Amino acid sequence: MTEKTESPSIESLSCPLPLQHQETIVMGHGSGGKLMHDLIAKAFVPAWDNPILRAGNDSGVVSSQEKNRLAISTDAHVVSPLFFPGGDIGSLAVCGTVNDIAVMGAQPLYLTVSFILEEGLPVETLERVIESMRVTAEVAEVQIVAGDTKVVSRGNGDGIYISTAGVGLLDDDVEIHGANAQPGDAVIISGTLGDHGIAVLAARGELGFQADLQSDIAPLNGLITDMLAASDKIHVLRDPTRGGLATTLNEIAGQSNTGIIIEEEKIPIKPEVNAASELLGFDPLYIANEGKLVAMVAPEEADKVLNIMQQHPFGKEAAIIGHVTDETQNRVLMKTLIGSHRIIDVLMGEMLPRIC
């Protein structure tokens, strides 16, 4: 056997500092200086590249395409864990804001992204999230036009928090908002309820059993575009996220000064979600969704809109689940499986913390 002498390799002779910095987030990545510029140049710009971002100015300059109205929204995202079946904090952050704009009937076009990173975060984790945001933005056909990164020391964050804001363009003749529900309107849900909340719980290991369930995270602007092209009698659109469908319907009833009656047997819920909810004492009506919308549509156009929704990948399981009424003002009632009516109130307290 020949014995090798241990001589330093070229790698071990090179300065270890830059490599170490690439491995985990350090406070300097939020400094505004060299390390931050490197992070932007190496991680953000290549993934999200577009001329607006590349210009490197304090704001992204974009076109309003001669539209007179803008829809503007923001969401903070603190979901735990960062990755879960069907999505991650990155896809969630893009879809959350895209959907808030799309449900106004606006076309979401521009996103801003601000990160609060915890010192010690593996850069690889950040890069996975950046890539997920790239893919989701591509599917949603939105551009990321501005960003910011701050770093907090260990114990003052939890890996990655993301706030997104977005701007959409709104045609002059579109009037879709929470105060526009009208008695007689059909209430349509675009698919099954509670998938996101239960999928995140499963990823936390809090279910106590294995569940083969994915979050429903999806950008809904494509589905909404199809719906708006088919009907000009869509009065309300909203995505039932935190607080679930129950809270969303109550918000709309309150804003529109109407009542809403839904029918339990018509509400699409996956068996796994039902099983998990029963076990944990949750009601799927209150569990967060991240790729679903509820629509109030004039009765004469409800079937047409439903049909259009069912032809879209994100609306395949759409169903008419009830109607708007002037009889139970500001109240949401559910006709239960046994034929009685019960009042559906908003979510009280906290059911599933850090679900989005």
Site for a second copy in 256-285 (CB under 8 A): none
SS3 at position 95 = helix
Residue from 142, 151, 207, 223 touching a second copy (CB under 8 A): that is 151
Give the largest Cα separation in the chain, rounded. 93
Residue from 91, 125, 132, 163 touching a second copy (CB under 8 A): that is 163
For a second copy, the closer of residues 338 and 348 by Cβ is: 348
Cα angle 342, 348, 349 (rounded to 5 degrees) comes to: 155
294: exposed, middle or buried (Cβ count in 10 Å: 0-12, 13-18, 19+): buried
| Nearest CA-CA partner of 294 in 273, 274, 309, 275 | 309
Residue from 19, 23, 27, 183 touching a second copy (CB under 8 A): that is 27
The encoded tokens of residue 283 equal 């009601």
Rule CB under 8 A: which of 83-102 touch a second copy? Answer: 99-101
- Contact between 20 and a second copy by CB under 8 A: the answer reads no
Contacts with a second copy by CB under 8 A: the residue count is 90
Residue from 19, 20, 23, 34 touching a second copy (CB under 8 A): that is 34
- Contact between 193 and a second copy by CB under 8 A: the answer reads no
Rule CB under 8 A: which of 276-335 touch a second copy? Answer: 286, 288
* From 23-31, 120-128, 225-233, 325-333, span contacting a second copy (CB under 8 A): 23-31
Rule CB under 8 A: which of 41-70 touch a second copy? Answer: 55-70
- Contact between 30 and a second copy by CB under 8 A: the answer reads yes
How far CA 229 is from CA of 71, 252, 304, in Å, comes to: 19, 23, 11
Residue from 107, 125, 149, 215 touching a second copy (CB under 8 A): that is 149
For a second copy, the closer of residues 67 and 304 by Cβ is: 67
For a second copy, the closer of residues 91 and 248 by Cβ is: 248
Q: How far is the CB of 12 from a second copy (least distance, A)?
A: 23
For a second copy, the closer of residues 256 and 325 by Cβ is: 256
Residue from 134, 242, 292, 331 touching a second copy (CB under 8 A): that is 242
Length of the chain: 356
Residues 6 or more apart from 137 whose CB is under 8 A from it?
A: 48, 94, 111, 143, 144
| Nearest CA-CA partner of 45 in 54, 36, 34 | 54
Q: How far is the CB of 6 from a second copy (least distance, A)?
A: 32
Residue from 75, 88, 185, 272 touching a second copy (CB under 8 A): that is 75
Tokens 């599917």 map to which residue? 139
Residues 6 or more apart from 177 whose CB is under 8 A from it?
A: 104, 236, 255
Q: How far is the CB of 190 from a second copy (least distance, A)?
A: 15
Rule CB under 8 A: which of 207-236 touch a second copy? Answer: none
Q: How far is the CB of 36 from a second copy (least distance, A)?
A: 8
- Contact between 343 and a second copy by CB under 8 A: the answer reads no
Cβ atoms within 10 Å, residue 174: 16
The encoded tokens of residue 123 equal 């850069």
d(CA 68, CA 314): 30
Q: Are 76 and 55 in contact (CB under 8 A)?
A: no
Task: Output the 3-class SS for 198-267.
Answer: HHHHHHCCCCCCCCCCCCCCCCCHHHHHHHHHHCCCEEEEECCCCCHHHHHHHHHHHHHCCEEEEEHHHC
* From 8-16, 205-213, 224-232, 240-248, span contacting a second copy (CB under 8 A): 240-248
- Contact between 239 and a second copy by CB under 8 A: the answer reads yes
Rule CB under 8 A: which of 102-141 touch a second copy? Answer: 103-104, 106, 110, 112-116
Residue from 24, 40, 45, 76 touching a second copy (CB under 8 A): that is 76
| Nearest CA-CA partner of 288 in 95, 46, 16 | 95
